[in-house]
Amino acid sequence: MYESTCGAAATGQCGKPQREAACTSREPPSAPAERDYSGFDIVKATQYGAYSRVKELVEAGWDVNQPDHETVTLLHWAAINNRRDIIEYLVSKGARVDAIGGELQSTPLHWAARQGHLEATVLLVRAGANPGLRDAEGCGCVHLAAQYGHTAVVAYLVARGVAPDGPDAAGMTPLMWAAWKVTAVDPTRLLLSLGASPAPQDTAHGNTALHWAILARNSTAICTLVLYGNANLEIPNQRGATPLAMLQSNLGAVWIGSKVAERVKELSTSRNNCLRRITYDKKFRWWCVVTIPFLAFYLTGMLVELDAPIYLKAFLLVCLYSVLHVVTNFLFDDELKNIFPLCVYLATKTWFYITWVVVIASEVSAGATVGFLLCSAMLWHTFLRSWRADPGVITATRQEKMRTIIDLSESSGGGGGFDAARFCSACLVRRPLRSKHCSVCNRCVARFDHHCPWVANCIGAKNHRSFVGFLGSLVVMCSWMVWGGAQYYGARCGASPAAWPRCNAWLGWVLLNAAFHLFWVSVLAACQLYLLVCLGMTTNEQLNRSRYAHFAARGGRSPFSRGPLKNLMAFLRDTEQRDHRPDLDDSCDDQDARPFMRDDRHYV
């Protein structure tokens, strides 16, 4: 047996190599310092990366395709130890890239893929290695990479033309292997983004990828397949068990997330139960989330206006909001909860307009009403731009995405450029500087500031100015509302503010909302302007600057700031603020891994 860090070929069952413990490291073992390699035979020299010794022996007449007593070639040993320079040399000397060797009858590419060596994989594929070949257990290279969680290798092989849904000898697809073996979000999410379908079933058991994820109690894979991949929960396997039935029998287990449990309950609702069917109807629940804020505002105003003792009013208000809390928790899922703040905003502003027209307009001048409507028009213009406009979503065609994967994988001398900090595995795009993937919208946004629930949209490069204009317009509109209410009270209820609520309780309720909005929106607008003008950074950068290398290199200060005046002018012109930093490239130095569909989201 040859001495090496991986002293024998990777062997054993597909996914369960007998000698896995000897080959667990993805990094090649470092060669001993100043070691004399002159006594090494060619196999040992290849394993240790002694390039000069390998070259010496080959030049002396060694056949690069001669296998050892385990039928393993030199290229196998170079691949499993990620010896890039030796791989290139052996290929140049005519080494067969698809040579079969070892107990599993694998190719060098199989060995590289199993170990997750992207550099070796790139070199072998570029040299003509066939990634579609199967080993003795029927596994292709992409299946091996998927079951060991080597996301970069999976991405590169698929970008190079390997089918993301290709089955192995047992009908297991890469997605099934990832769901069964890997607890991280990738490569499951990556395979779905690459076009893999969760519908295929293996030949041995009839299981889909979701079946395998449930059998493994793989919470991350279950969540990703159900919520991101829209996996069918009603496909039976050969025993007649559906993913839905399997999840129902384990409902309440810690490995079934709250969102998946909600989906299971929705599908489990009896079609004979009219009430339950209505409450799980998506259209019905959408109308509930839209109308409840309008009704809640109105009912609160009516309770405030009741001619009753204050303690009775307080009791009724507590009852009202307790009922609303129960109803909203029962009806709203996470998707509806994300748009609920937007509905609250729209309801509040609608009642502002109604109150102005019905109550205030008669006590102020026509010019004041026209001014109120004009500032409202500006508010709606900036609001619609913030709500419906493209915030700067980074898009690419499938061909461009595959080209990006290949370019990043093959950069830096053969594969070192594929870095999660520069590539989004959900969107399959290169991440520009200052961009970020929003887990609410599930998309990458250029110059990402934050996800704003009040406009139900991300704030980024293309709608940031509109958002700041929206905040300013909202401050003006709320100020005008408070002024108009004060004018009404002064004309109708006397000069004493203490008597105003009893004079018109509804207007008092409306003005309380206007004052509250005025306060928090003013604070938010001030913070936005301070970050943009004084610091030259986004909200995301301010909160996460310790995670960005280009901020850490400057002690947390923004490398994009050119002083308050120039920052303001650049923002108003909506131009990129990085021309003065040629040392910063277009890649993102963010090192955070972004798990998909987690409850502890990191967005602002």
Selected catalytic residue, list 223, 343, 375, 452: 452
Count CB neighbours of 329 within 10 A.
9
Name residue, tokens 């257990």: 137
Residue 544: which residues within 8 A CB-CB, separation 6 or more?
Answer: 590, 592, 602
The answer to whether 44 and 3 are in contact (CB under 8 A) is yes
Q: How far apart are the first and last CA of the chain?
A: 56
Active site residue 534: no
Distance, in Å, from the CA atom of 69 to the CA atom of 86, rounded to the nearest integer, reads 21
Distance, in Å, from the CA atom of 383 to the CA atom of 468, rounded to the nearest integer, reads 10
Count CB neighbours of 195 within 10 A.
11
The DSSP call for residue 22 is: G
3-state secondary structure 272-302: CCHHHHHHCCHHHHHHHHHHHHHHHHHHHHH
The answer to whether 535 and 513 are in contact (CB under 8 A) is no
The answer to whether 492 and 363 are in contact (CB under 8 A) is yes
> Ramachandran region of residue 40, left (φ > 0), alpha (ψ -120 to 50) or beta?
beta
Distance, in Å, from the CA atom of 59 to the CA atom of 73, rounded to the nearest integer, reads 17
Pairing of strands 12-13, 436-438: unpaired
**Closest alpha carbon to 602 in 467, 456, 420, 448:** 448
10 Å CB burial of residue 591 (0-12, 13-18, 19+) is exposed
Residue 254: which residues within 8 A CB-CB, separation 6 or more?
Answer: 219
Give catalytic residue positions.
Answer: 452
